[in-house]
Amino acid sequence: MSRAVFSGLIVSFPKVLFFLLPKTEGNCPKCSGDRVEFREVAFRKGDVCEYVAATSIETGLGVVVDQGATVTFRAPVVAIGSGILVEQGTVFKIIPSSGD
């Protein structure tokens, strides 16, 4: 499978974060905020990542969770869009929260 490679760009708009980050083993960007949106992000084997948003977390095209990665999304609303690939052997958690 071919994957797009980015140079570690974070684009921020008011109250929305877009992550376009190449991942290295065991390395997760730390973030939280009102809304968090992921596009073109790969979570690699050995990554243990947790993301918290006050309002929502959304995923879309190009999000890959490799076998052996652990990813947790915690927000009042978590929207998993088309184009995400979660491989067998991952731990992928969605935890509803009150937004507090």
pLDDT tens track for 32-72:
678 888 888 889 999 999 888 889 999 888 899 999 999 99
Q: Domain boundaries in the chain? A: 9-96
Whether pTM > 0.85 for this model: the answer is no
Q: 93: which residues sit within 8 A by CB, 6+ positions away?
A: 70, 71, 72, 73
Identify each DSSP E strand in the chain by its residue range. 9-13, 16-20, 32-38, 42-43, 48-59, 64-65, 70-75, 77-80, 85-86, 91-96
Q: pLDDT-based confidence at 98, cuts 50/70/90?
A: confident
